[in-house]
Structure 1
Amino acid sequence: MLTSQFVLGAAEAAHEGINGGDIVFQLVMFLILLALLKKFAWGPLMGIMKQREEHIAGEINAAEQARQETSKLLAEQRDLLKQARTEAQELIENAKKQGDVQREEIIAAARAESERVKESAKREIEQQKEQAVATIREQVASLSVLIASKVIEKELTAADQEKLINEYIQEAGEGR
């Protein structure tokens, strides 16, 4: 029974009013708890959060720098590609020009060779012609001498002379 009276007494005391000692004790304990939390929990927690924030800011800066470098490298690569294309186009143009020049040189050389062969053939034909004329002259001279010797040996009539000339012309034609 005593316990039940004690419980009833505590309940009555709780209803009687505000207990100032308990409030002060709880307030002091709450402030101590806050100070302990600030020192041991909140401080390290905020330090970790600060480190995390600095780490993330560093990562963002590094990513931004990497993006800028990538953009710069991309621009350089584009410039190099454009330059390479320009150089390739120039090489192609130079090759075409050189090909045209070589073609013209080959055509000119072929024409010169053709003219040289043509002139050589003309000279050879001229030489052959001169040799033929010289040979004919020799034959005519020998025929003339032969005819003259035959004419001297005998006197011929006009018909005999014509016959003799035709025979010698025929002999000269067979001699060729």
Structure 2
Amino acid sequence: MLIGALGMAAVVIGIAFIGFQKAAWIVLGAIYVAIGLLYILRRAGSLKISLGPALGGLSGSRGSIALGLLFGLNIPACAAPLMFALLGMAAAGGVSGGTLSAGFISLSLFGFALSLPIVAAVLVPSARRALDWLSSLSRRLPLWTGLLLVALGLWSIGFGLFAEIKA
């Protein structure tokens, strides 16, 4: 009976997480569409207002930790299947006598690999220059930037609405 209750709890937690992630994809997709429309309508300047604490206040190690936690709360839609597979492997490893460190290490490596391009863009000067060059294109091409953001937003919304993740 206790094992059955644990199984039910695992299903409830899994369903809640999938529901939360799908809702996050829909909300973030709607934000992408809104920002894309602002670019298309040449109203992106309205995005240059400061809300809440300034990012300048997030400098130093405390700011890096805060931004890392913020970005760590969301995963890209394309990474969800791999993350679910890793979570399933960690759960199966726990059932078969695996250690907590095995689950921690596998998901930590996943998170590290997921953030590696951002780390490279920050630490490698040539990657930073390439990122700066790409960002300068966004100022010159607001229509294309807007269309890309709208397309990504619609894709994210569609993924949140229609993706079925089967166990």
Q: Aligning the two structures, in what range does the TM-score lie when normalised by the shorter sequence?
A: under 0.3
The alignment's TM-score, normalised by the length of structure 2, stands at 0.27
Q: Does 1 or 2 have the higher relative contact order (CA < 8 Å, sep 6+)?
A: 2
Decide which structure has greater helix share.
1
